[in-house]
Amino acid sequence: MFSKSFLTFSLLSTVLCSRSDAFTIGGPVNTTGGLVKGHASSLRPDVSEYLGIRFAKPAKGDLRFAAPVPVDKRSDIFDAAEFVYVYSDCPCNRVPMNNSYLGGPVGEKITVALSQQANVLDEDCFGINVWTKPQTGEEKKAVLFWIYGGGFSIGSANSPVYDGSILADENDVVVVSFNYRLNIFGFSGAPGQPANVGLLDQRLALEWTRDNIEQFGGDPSRITVFGQSAGGMSTDLVAFINPEDPIAHGLIAHSGVATARAMPSPNATQSLATWYDVSQTLGCGGAEAREETVACMRTKTQEELLAAIESQSTSALIGGFLPYGDGVVLPEDISAEADAGNFAKIPFLTGNTDYEAGFFFIVAIAYSNITTVEELNAIPWDLVRPLGNLLTRVAFTCPAADAADLRRKHGVPSWRYRFYGGDYENTAINPVGSDWHTSDMLTVFGTAAAVTGVEDSEYEAKAAAYHRNAWATFAKDPTSGLEDKLGWPTYHPLRRTLVQLSLGDQTEASFTVNWMTDAMCDAIANLAEIIEDISGFFGGLNSGKELGRRSFDGM
């Protein structure tokens, strides 16, 4: 019979061994899917990096178009050293990068880093990534859970822009990212199949984080979801998908919100019709075949599916397969639920860049016949800029104001920011500058210098560090951290509450009245035809191919 002292010693030894493993950089961690080991981050060697941890079974065969299924627990140790084994992204039709050099030396590196040109596409893409530094700071750290953008049509967590090492190293947080299904694979609208399975992928990754993050030094009671563009919309949707159990304790929606009245949103009938169009194209029958189309579509290769859906897209960023209100995963009318207050009352931070449209001009150039700098400079950019400002206001600025004000009206702490880009040399893309849609991610993650090889200027380094500290401060205390620690006022449309980041040479936040950016928001809120006209500019383009000819060649 074992003595009490022996049992005490054994228990203590077990605890110490567990702590030793956790404090060893890249050391083994026990997860619900089995043991995983990582390695030291190449950017910050004191940070443990775990890449490509499988959180769901590959969505192939009968699991294609179906809800995600958690992985079984493996008996061996998984070497989490790469993004999903062979750096595989979920299947998508990528934006062409043949003329990325037009963005200038820095712009070329940024656009290539954001693209997926070198990444393998495969339906075995359910990987989750963790960056952590448990050997210092809080014993249980706040968690930042990242959702990438891409219009629900493209995108991947596997980008050097989204490396979480610097955030984890400098701000005493754990950073998590993951892959979720896109386009027809994630939002098929297929008959007899669950809707919005791409959002179910996101939910499963969030559940995995809740169940496992403590083993990586994280605090499951302090998880902040943050995402950009479609990831921002997804972040906002967290409050609506499971309002009684959102898992998240804070939300940061960059350049995209769920309640944006100007954004395209199909309904169940339209999604089903699009499915039948594609199934007919692939020889699987149309509406008359009903659920038989699903079995047939599961026999097609991912390449066949991607080729077939290309005609359903206005560009790689605006596909024919998007989330919609099915009444099960998502409410049928998000705006009505929002107005009624039927959402999780989670502290909310939202905002956008000063010139979001710049990115979409970059995409337009990628699809155009423009191949030389001379042709690019021949475009009358002084005339293009006002159109871009209008797009930014309609599609991003006004929705951000609406989303922040929605929370205010329902008593939820909310903040709103605007990112001005600071004219930073290592975030600028020719000819649109440094305040384009997604440019703020280079400062949020602190990866501009690593991506471009151009070091931050002195004021950029300070402004970016302040930016990251603000996000970490929110994650650590979503309810009052920004106000108590940094003096940020909660959002109010009639007061100086708009937080200005990276404005000129400023290295900390300044505050201004919202009407300076929100003029005409009320007037344009319900003018959907404006968006239709603008998307015709960017988009009435059949797979984006006509965009350059229609938008630029004639200028």
The pLDDT, as a whole number, for residue 432 is 94
Overall pTM > 0.85:
yes
Rounded CA separation 538/532 (Å): 10
Q: In sequence order, what are the beta bridge partners of 353?
A: 419
Q: Any idea where the domains of the chain sit in the sequence?
A: 100-553
Q: Is the peptide bond before 489 cis (omega within 30 degrees of 0)?
A: no
d(CA 36, CA 468): 28
**Are the CB atoms for 190 and 276 separated by under 8 Å?**
no
Torsion, CA 248, CA 251, CA 253, CA 259, rounded to 10: 80
For tokens 């344009």, name the residue.
Answer: 524
Cα separation of 79 and 389, whole Å? Answer: 47
| Active site members | 229
Strands (DSSP E) found in 58-126: 78-79, 88-89, 120-121
Give the pLDDT confidence score for residue 81 in this predicted structure: 76
pLDDT given for residue 70 in this prediction: 97
Q: What angle do CA 529, 532, 533 make, to 5 degrees?
A: 90
**pLDDT tens-place string over residues 137-146:** 999 999 999 9
User: Tokens representing 355?
Assistant: 């010139």
Tokens of 270: 């339209």
476: which residues sit within 8 A by CB, 6+ positions away? 142, 173, 222
Task: Supply 400's token pair.
Answer: 């951000």
Contact indicator for 271, 321 with CB cutoff of 8 Å: yes
Task: Mark the ranges of the chain whose per-residue pLDDT is less than 50.
Answer: 1-22, 85-86, 262, 528-529, 532, 535-555
Tell me if residue 277 falls in helix, strand or coil: helix
Q: Superfamily assignment of 100-553 in CATH?
A: Alpha/Beta hydrolase fold, catalytic domain (3.40.50.1820)
CA–CA distance, 500 with 514 (Å, rounded to integer): 11
Residue 264 buriedness (CB in 10 A; 0-12 / 13-18 / 19+)? middle
Rounded to the nearest 5°, which phi and psi values hold at 376? -65, -45
Q: Which long-range contacts (CB under 8 A, 24 or more apart) does 428-431 make?
A: 428/104, 428/106, 428/107, 429/103, 429/104, 429/106, 429/107, 429/110, 429/111, 429/358, 429/362, 430/102, 430/103, 430/104, 430/107, 430/376, 431/376, 431/377, 431/379, 431/381
